[in-house]
Structure 1
Amino acid sequence: MKSVIRLGLCVAALWGGAALAGDEWKQPGYGGSGVDDDSSYMKAEERGSDKGLYVLLGGGTEGYTGDLASDVNAGFAYGATVGFKPTRGLGLELAYSGGLSDIDTFGPGGASDGADIIRNGGQAAITVGLVPTKLQPYLMGGIGIENHNVRGLAPVAGFSDDTSGYVPAGVGLRYNIGSLITADARVSYNIPFAQDFAPVDNDLGNGRYQALLQLGGTY
């Protein structure tokens, strides 16, 4: 329940920001030619880069839902993303993400020094911008593969090393600051398949959520 509340608060914060910034970036719609009028549209150098290659690095938190929520504590998450926006609305990206978690069964410190579960994964995804504003909300979806490395006494509790797949789906906000700097905040829910690192079924409820804040640039 706590993990669901945390995820809900993150989503609410993201969409609240989008509502406040809806009129901030005045420019033609996706694919439209528009009129080059300074009274209606901002010049390209003023609005920042909204197309092209982007690179992002950041961190945040991740945790597990369903039957895993009570067994695995939320922990630190980190990631790196390389993407390309051929248009203002569409983004194609490859991303690395990692996470550190403790198994709650063994107490606050987990089963070993440091993290009990070290997760490393990679994914390919598509992002679709919802409005052509400088602070742009977007939807994200794709497919990924990840490895869970279980340390200490954790295998006794039914956890073990495993490589499996997942389907990421999420929402985010991206903001271009000036001509180069880009800030990106996203919340995703990752649905597992062929997962055997934990003693639970592969279904929609036994997934992993992640919230990341990343900084980088668009070129």
Structure 2
Amino acid sequence: MKSVIRMGLCVAALWSGAALAGDDSWKQPYGGSGQAGQDEPRPVYRTVERGADTGLYVLLGGGTDGYTGQLAPELNPGFAYGATVGVKPSKILGLELGYSGGLNDIDLAGPGGAADGADIVRNGAQAAVTLGLTPTRLQPYVMGGIGIEHFNVRGAGQVFGFQDDTSGYVPAGVGLRYNIGRLLTADARVNYNIPFEQDFAPVDNNIGNGRYQALLQLGGTY
């Protein structure tokens, strides 16, 4: 008798489990609130604004070179070109080495200058620090450093008191950089170069007789 009762209880338990397994009404819909037949929620995508890139960057570009003070009426603004290799260990700080060149005509020599082509050919190199004002992809910044440059006077430039010379300068400027992902970096900067030990021109060697440069450079950050 006891064996029959035990067997009956086992059959009843197995029957109840099978009935529940075949009934889907007890299951909670995936991603729902527990109500049968409710649609699954759609995923929500959020756009995250990237900040300024960090890492190694390389820039190439061109612009204009001009002079101030007593040099302004004697030398016409001319074409400038440059290349920059730098690294940004953070979104704000940048360390760079740069090359810059310039081509200028002597204004006192009349139309066309004192020689065919540029009368003054300048080549220089500098080390600079950039400091971003914001950590954003479109980043204004300030810069400063130290450099050395060589002036080569061509044609009859010596007649007007100019001569070959190697001197130093302190670049100080502002810029605006935009990182388009890591494929393209655009950089526009304007800097004033304060000369020291400069003797290529017949003017006083002071802060007012300096050189300005505006460059637009394109490159990438890696």
Pair in the same fold by TM > 0.5: yes
Change (3 A) 1:114 1:72: same
Mind listing any 5+ residue stretches in structure 2 that lack a counterpart? Answer: 1-44
Q: 1:64 aligns with which of 62, 67, 92?
A: 67
- What is the CA distance between 1:48 and its match in structure 2? 7.2
The letter of the residue matching 2:216 is: L
CA distance in 1, matches of 2:172, 2:86: 16
Shift in Å, 1:203: 1.1
5+ long unaligned stretches in structure 1: 1-37
| Residue in structure 2 matching 1:180, options 183, 188, 212 | 183
Cα RMSD between the aligned structures? Answer: 1.3
Indicate yes or no: 2:51 matched with 1:52: no
**What percent identity do the matched residue pairs reach?**
76
Count of matched residue positions in the alignment of Structure 1 and Structure 2: 178
The amino acid across from 1:145 in the alignment is I
Q: In 2, Cα distance between the equivalents of 1:108 and 1:88?
A: 47
In the aligned structure 1, how far is the partner of 2:174 from the partner of 2:91?
A: 17
Q: Does residue 101 of structure 1 match 2:104? A: yes
* Inter-partner Cα distance in structure 1 for 2:51 and 2:82: 24
Separation in 1 of the partners of 2:153 and 2:203? 15
**Which of structure 1's runs of 4+ aligned residues deviate more than 2 A?**
38-42
Q: How far did residue 204 of structure 1 move?
A: 1.2
Partner Cα separation in structure 1 for residue 64 and residue 128 of structure 2? 20
- TM-score norm. by structure 1 comes to 0.79
Point out the structure with max Rg over C-alpha.
Answer: 2
- Could you tell me which amino acid in structure 2 is paired with residue 189 of structure 1? Y
Q: Which of 180, 202, 207 is 1:199 aligned to?
A: 202
User: In 2, distance between residues paired with 1:59 and 1:108?
Assistant: 24
Shift in Å, 1:72 = 0.1
User: Could you say which structure has the greater relative contact order, defined with CA pairs below 8 angstroms and 6 or more residues apart?
Assistant: 1
Match of 1:78 in 2: 81
